[in-house]
Amino acid sequence: MTTHERERGRVRLYACGGAGVNVGHKVDRVAQSNDEAFAQLDVVYIDTSKSNLHSDIKAESVYLIDGLDGSGQVRRENHGAISERVRDILQTFKPVDLNIVLSSAGGGSGSVIAPSIVSELLAKDYPTIVICVGDDSTKKYSENTLNTLKSYDQIASTVRQQPVIMSYLQNSADMTRPVVDQRVQHLVAALCLLFSRRNRELDSKDLYNWLHYQKVTSYKPALTALTLIEDLNATSLSKIGNLISIATLTMPDVDPSLSLRPEVQYVGYIEGDTASDKLNMLAPFHYVTSDGVFAEVAAGLNTVLRELEEQTAARLNKAGISTSADQATDTGLVL
């Protein structure tokens, strides 16, 4: 059976919360191509508020949690209502070959919806990847981002004992909204290429084991970074830590071997050059899971929170403008 006789792969993107909906909508706009080199992509939207929905999003692609109207950046605000709906969400939008869960970490809704969906997907052993956008620009965003990452860590290491594979982006002067949008679109396209079922010598079990690396390596399940790298041999690995599992796509005439020896590498061969041209990447390119990102991210967020706490402790409280001589009515008016 040739690759083109195999059923085309399917990828579902669960866009959660306001930031997830906004970025997912841009992914959806570029996902309409029916290119057989890529998996069929379906974007669905889950939120607690209608205010983030775009007018061109189809109603059948939306799941709104009834009776809510946002979370106001408070993660515990709607946790109960969200948790009760997770199984119904996955019944409405059933998991497929690869399930990508996208949200911000700093808001109040997406940062609860997304980990709740991920936990249920992993409980059912579905191939899952998280795309998460953090933020340290305010105390609340920093607290939410840190607690969201801790949630994923608990899901991976304790609750589900399955790796949570995450591509993490953090808003900054360099990582602006347009840059985040572009990075997410590129990553989703690259994952659609990987899970297309059109790559020779790369089958579903290979990709399953790439994500469930605890089955084929000495590493235990953990919150794990996903990084897309063109030239792994020329890349400094100091920022991403130990390599855990690698999936590689290359051309038939390009050697995918590495100068270092990872515990496991799964290699697929792209037929034709259309796909790699569209991604604007040179083969081979590597989908790398590693263990060295999130300890540094958490340390940075904790530093921000300590500095903000010190500012609060040093703050001088300003006196109000009222005095004891002022007489107020029962409703507070000073006449």
Q: Is residue 73 scored above 90 in pLDDT?
A: no
Count of alpha carbons within 13 angstroms of residue 43, beta-carbon side? 23
pLDDT tens-digit readout, 223-269: 999 999 988 877 777 788 999 999 999 988 888 988 888 999 999 99
Residue 27 shares a structural domain with residue 96: yes
The pLDDT assigned to 320 comes to: 79
Task: Give the residue from 205, 190, 226 showing the smallest Cα distance to 41.
Answer: 190
Residue 14 shares a structural domain with residue 127: yes
Residue 32 shares a structural domain with residue 162: yes
* Cβ atoms < 10 Å from Cβ of 328: 10
Residue 45 amino acid letter: Y
Residue 245 shares a structural domain with residue 166: no
CATH of the domain at 93: 3.40.50.1440
Task: Give the residue from 228, 286, 227 showing the smallest Cα distance to 256.
Answer: 286
Q: For residue 215, is it within any domain?
A: no
User: Per-residue confidence at 273, pLDDT binned at 50, 70, 90?
Assistant: low
Cα–Cα–Cα angle for 188, 4, 245, nearest 5°?
45
Q: Is residue 314 scored above 90 in pLDDT?
A: no
Q: For residue 124, is it within any domain?
A: yes
Average pLDDT over residues 162-191: 94
Domain's final residue, options 293, 310, 328: 293
Gap between the terminal Cα atoms of the chain: 88
Residue 123 shares a structural domain with residue 269: no
Residue 185 shares a structural domain with residue 253: no
Alpha-carbon dihedral sign for residues 55, 57, 61, 64:
negative
Which stretch of DSSP H or E encloses residue 14? strand 10-16
pLDDT tens-digit readout, 24-65: 999 987 766 677 889 999 999 999 878 778 888 888 999 988
Residue 242 amino acid letter: N
Q: Is residue 6 scored above 60 in pLDDT?
A: yes
CA dihedral 41, 42, 48, 50 (to 10 degrees): 110
Residue 125 shares a structural domain with residue 252: no
- How far apart are the C-alpha atoms of 182 and 295, rounded to whole Å? 26
Q: For residue 54, is it within any domain?
A: yes
Residue 288 shares a structural domain with residue 145: no
User: Per-residue confidence at 1, pLDDT binned at 50, 70, 90?
Assistant: very low
pLDDT tens-digit readout, 288-308: 999 989 999 999 999 999 998
How many angstroms from the chain centroid is the CA of residue 296?
18
Residue 85 shares a structural domain with residue 182: yes
Q: For residue 98, is it within any domain?
A: yes
Domain of 284, in residue numbers: 227-293
The pLDDT assigned to 291 comes to: 94
**Which segments of 21-178 are extended strands (E)?**
40-47, 62-64, 98-104, 128-134, 164-170
Domain's final residue, options 179, 198, 217: 198
Which stretch of DSSP H or E encloses residue 309? helix 294-314
Residue 175 shares a structural domain with residue 119: yes
Q: For residue 56, is it within any domain?
A: yes
The pLDDT assigned to 124 comes to: 96
Q: For residue 266, is it within any domain?
A: yes
- How far apart are the C-alpha atoms of 48 and 176, rounded to whole Å? 25
pLDDT tens-digit readout, 83-132: 888 999 999 999 999 999 999 999 878 899 999 999 999 999 999 999 99
The pLDDT assigned to 318 comes to: 76
- How far apart are the C-alpha atoms of 331 and 335, rounded to whole Å? 11
Helix, strand, or coil (residue 187)? helix
Helix, strand, or coil (residue 105)? coil
Helix, strand, or coil (residue 131)? strand
* Domain count across the chain: 2
pLDDT over 70 percentage in the chain? 91
Entry pTM = 0.90
Q: For residue 121, is it within any domain?
A: yes
CA distances from 292 to 113, 211, 276, 282, 289 (A): 26, 17, 28, 25, 10
The pLDDT assigned to 51 comes to: 77
The pLDDT assigned to 54 comes to: 80
Q: For residue 210, is it within any domain?
A: no
| Mean of the per-residue pLDDT values of the chain | 88
User: Per-residue confidence at 275, pLDDT binned at 50, 70, 90?
Assistant: low
Residue 176 shares a structural domain with residue 87: yes
Residue 274 shares a structural domain with residue 142: no
CA distances from 331 to 323, 328, 334 (A): 17, 8, 9
- Map tokens 């109960």 to a residue: 80
The pLDDT assigned to 70 comes to: 44
